[in-house]
Chain A
Amino acid sequence: MFVEAGHFALALALGLSLIQFVVPLWGARANDPVLMSVGRATSLAVFVCIAFSFLALTVAYVTSDFSVVNVVANSHSAKPLIYKISGVWGNHEGSMLLWVLILALFGAVVALARNSIPLRLQANTLAMQGAITIAFLLFILLTSNPFTRSVPAPAEGQDLNPLLQDPGLAIHPPLLYIGYVGFSVSFAFAIAALIDGRIDAVWARIVRPWTLGAWAFLTLGIAMGSYWAYYELGWGGWWFWDPVENASLMPWLAGTALLHSTVVMEKRDALKVWTILLAILTFSLSLLGTFLVRSGVLTSVHSFAVDPERGTFILGILILIIGGSLALFAWRAPLLKQGGLFAPVSREGALVVNNLFLATACATVLIGTLYPLALEVLTGEKISVGAPFFNFTFLPLIVPLLLLLPLGQTLAWKRGNFLGTAQRLYAVFGVSLIATMALFAFEYGGPVAAPLGIGLGVYLVLGSLNEIVTRSWSRGTPLSVAWRRAANLPRSTWGAVLAHAGVGLTVIGIAATAWGVEGLATIRSGERVKAGDYEARLERVMPRIEANYREDVAVFTIFRQGQELGSLESMKRLYVTRGMPTTEAGIMTVGLGQVYVSLGEVAADGSVGVRLYYKPLVLLIWIGALVMALGGGVSLMDRRLRIGAPARAKMAPSAAVPAE
């Protein structure tokens, strides 16, 4: 019964989102505040319905209700509870339900921000959210219904894909989806502005927190996915330029550009048309990502034929939303007035360069991902575009951007002085140069990439922090005063500094992978495998049986230069229901680096294939991403963005008059 109720709630949500789409839009045209405010109530109701529906599916999973096809295909009664819950979105139907749930959640939050957004803008925005909800609810109800019953119900389920039975599944998709779907709010605001034909700094101020939030979550989601792949897939790679990864990287790049252009618009009332276009493109790329992943078009062009209905449906949604919004843009954008003049060398100019490079990088990833598909469809020729292509094209675009980053951050608004700015950074240049040289001398004859990359990372971190220093300290300022000034800098400044420093940390982590070493051997108990300074001694291999899998556990003792560091376990698992083997790497964190042991074949005579890696500073890759997201969070707390917060009173001038 509960399952049917969930299904019904989904259909009800579809009806309500139709109202959410039509009525406020009409109200905005007719200038009727009552009709306009219908959007609020309906978007809350839509959220409640979808949340109920999601709950119904979750209950079916938790109680192992094998009368539901979706549960049968992706669950098992012996599965641990956490994977029963995360298994709800570990499949196509459930993950689409999570997608619309988050979409509706964002709609509800926009609706609740009743005092901070002008009614008309809010009405148009909620109508657009409603339109997107309609499209995806139809998709779920017509092609991917998670509530289909299986008659007769089997006694046991087929279990969840073992690779997904990991805490990563509980965290990664929700984070990623909040990021993806969060951009729908910026998109809806952009369309609303186009419909209204009016856009100004207030618009930018309203939209910026949404973009920031979505961006921070997307950053976390991508980083989490990368770390998950790193420890789960068992060969220690952390980014593969896989089409599915690219699908999440593209909205991230566009979203980063959007974040920066919104700053220009908010502060200087410039780049309006471009910002609107970026908001549309960013969400379009999120949709494209969903399409690429959900239609299965990536595996091969032919998988379209396997399930043509779903693929075609999403493609239809894609064309309707993207095509429609771009057409609206072409029609209405000329109406928007340009404001805010600036010289080419200025903070605005630097942010234009930032946008140019990010957009190009995004276009590169896009063409690299889609070109093989297009070529095969058009000419029948099959080519592969993989990591070597992306490394070759992406790096030359990103490195100049990163080199310019601290300079741009230091330039003045409106009209800047390039040399003067460079002068303010001379200490940063000096220290990073010395660091690079020292690393070269230290490693003598090692890979070139590592010192250069780490030098770049150091330059980014110091260059960002330099902003705080120059704004709070000058020669002769007592430290306590400087400290207070630094603490009083706007949160958005701190946010930007943190985010940019986070980029630097990630760059250092990536560059240091060039120093990674690996060792490879088939060994028995008591024997060792060596990688650089590190050694792993195999102590024993023992079988272990858990609820839904059995595994061979190899216990290793790790040594550095002959000194014992501790022990770790590396597993080779077999998930019984699916008969599918997985490896669980044994990982030991040493400082910011990691020792990583993965198992190969376990032979009958007790010998084991072992691969040992030492990856110096590898954790910085993800720590950097965390710091970036943290920067986004800190920036969100800036009081300027808390609309409706009382403006700070001007400092009373009388305080400066000494009492005589």
Chain B
Amino acid sequence: MRFVLALLTSLVLTVPTWAVQPDEVLKDPALERRAREISSGLRCLVCQNQSIDDSDAQLAKDLRLLVRERLVAGDTDQQVQDFLVQRYGEFVLLKPTFSAHNMLLWLTPILVLVMGGIGAYAALRRRPQAAEALNEEERRVLEALLKQDRSAS
């Protein structure tokens, strides 16, 4: 399926190649690590499902520089993220917020697991675990059959 992706990407103007350029890298390795961490969670808005950390597009570069600028200015990770969401909307986050309109998205895994589990357990329980004991009539027939069998052999 990658090749179809490649087809699509090529239509959307960018060739994914190279991302972070050497001249963008911050001097402070701790800050740079945070910048990379944040970047990998932000969507390159003009690309196909790529983070700005992976994308070569001009916009991704601008966003990477912006993230680094804010970090150098002393923002926390959360503040940087909030700043970008304010500017570009929730679309920029690759991990959607845990808010009302995303409830179904976040809860589906748990709902399916729990309901499936209950369903499977109920289906198991519903089935009789052991055959019912023979009644008087059946036992008599069985006795007779066994006796017949024994005498035959």
Contact = CB atoms under 8 A, between A and B. Distances in A.
Contacts of B50: 240
Interface string B103-142: 0111011001100110011001001110000000000000
Interface of A: 90-91, 95, 161, 163-164, 168-169, 172-173, 176, 225-226, 228-229, 232-235, 237, 240-245, 247-248, 289, 293, 296, 298-299, 338, 341-344, 349, 352, 356-357, 359-361, 363-364, 367-368, 371, 375, 379, 381-389, 392-393, 397, 520-522, 580-583, 598-601, 609, 611
Contacts of B49: 240-243, 384, 386
B106 to A, nearest CB: 8
B59 interface: no
A283 B40 CA distance: 34
Interface string B12-46: 10011111111101000000000000001101000
B17 A581 contact: yes
B4 A244 contact: yes
A225 B1 CA distance: 7
Q: Which of B1, B20, B51, B96 has the most CB of A within 10 A?
A: B1
Nearest to B93: A384
Nearest to A243: B49
11 contacts: A172-B2, A299-B8, A343-B129, A356-B116, A360-B109, A363-B112, A364-B112, A384-B49, A386-B49, A386-B94, A609-B18
Nearest to A400: B113
Q: Which of B4, B19, B54, B120 has the most CB of A within 10 A?
A: B4
B94 A385 contact: yes
Contact of B101 (A226, A381, A393, A581): A381
B91 interface: yes
A600 B15 contact: no
Given A360-B109, A598-B18, A388 B94 contact: yes
Contacts of B87: none
Contacts of B17: 233-235, 581-583, 598, 600
Interface residues of B, number: 55
A271 to B, nearest CB: 9
Contacts of B73: none
B6 A163 contact: yes
A356 B120 contact: yes
A16 to B, nearest CB: 29
Contact of B21 (A342, A387, A397, A609): A609
A164 B112 contact: no
A163 B10 contact: yes
A299 B25 contact: no
Contact of A600 (B4, B21, B43, B51): B21
B51 A386 contact: yes
A161 B6 contact: yes
A371 B91 CA distance: 13
A387 B2 contact: no
A382 B18 contact: no
Nearest to B6: A163
B16 A296 contact: no
Contacts of A168: 2-3
A520 B101 contact: no
Contacts of A235: 16-19, 54
Chain A to chain B: the 5 pairs with minimum beta-carbon distance, closest first: A386-B94, A388-B95, A163-B6, A382-B91, A225-B2
A549 to B, nearest CB: 13
A624 to B, nearest CB: 19
B18 A600 contact: yes
Q: Which of B15, B23, B117 has the most CB of A within 10 A?
A: B15
A382 B90 contact: yes
Contacts of B109: 360-361, 363-364, 367, 393, 397
Nearest to A248: B1
Contacts of B145: none
A234 B116 contact: no
B18 A383 contact: no
B5 interface: yes
A176 B10 CA distance: 21
B96 A383 contact: yes
Nearest to A365: B109
A341 B129 CA distance: 7
